[in-house]
A = this chain, B = another copy of it.
Amino acid sequence: MSQEGLLLVVSGPSGAGKGTVCKSLLQKCSEIKYSTSVTTRKPRKGEEHGVNYFFTSVEEFQDMIKNNQLLEWAKVYDNYYGTPTEFVIETLKSGQDVILEIDVEGAKQIFKNFPNGVFIFLLPPSMEELASRIYKRGTDSKEVIEKRLAAAQGEIDQLINYNYVVLNDEVEKATEKIQSIIIAEKCKVNRNKVLKEEYWK
């Protein structure tokens, strides 16, 4: 198959559960490749370098920007986050699917360069639940939490630019929906130009 892989972009406000849902998805679909982001923020408890993020300094991050090594980057709540270009491009070319778990600002930049990407907005069930999740995480300062909550409403207004919206009321259900989205996307006529030639010589 010479078909390119799918670029799956899972985004949404902080506290929507992007990390948990992506983890659950990757456990069920081991063939999907996870694009590890680079960040200047401090590791949260349990986070590993090279697994959850590539943790880096502000100087190193700025060098990556200068050298065009980032597909997208954004400064969010005083920290930089970015997606290394090479891994994504090479993996897609090889026909494998790549998942990006990124914030709404990052997704905006991906829209422009990947019109064939599959953009999924993860929606927390309510503003109350969103606040509760961020507080429970207990990893952010009160100031950061307030910034996140204030930003969430504006981020949700970006929903209109996405292909799909998945309500994350239960991780299992949200994961299954994304699995269905992947299967459906692979059935799209415009992704199957080779099908006709292969089966109907």
Contact = CB atoms under 8 A, between A and B. Distances in A.
State the number of copies, please.
2
A121 interface: yes
B200 A165 contact: no
A127 to B, nearest CB: 7
A116 to B, nearest CB: 15
A71 interface: no
A153 B200 CA distance: 9
Given A195-B167, A196-B156, A162 B189 contact: yes
Among A123, A159, A179, A199, the one with the most B-chain Cβ atoms within 10 Å of its Cβ is A199
A180 interface: yes
A29 interface: no
A63 B180 CA distance: 43
Interface residues of A, number: 32
A32 interface: no
Contact of A163 (B162, B163, B189): B189
A184 interface: yes
A125 interface: yes
Contacts of A184: 164, 177, 180-181, 183-185
Given A123-B195, A180-B180, A195-B123, A187 B166 contact: yes
Interface of A: 120-121, 123, 125-127, 153, 156, 159-160, 162-167, 176-177, 179-181, 183-185, 187-189, 192, 195-196, 199-200
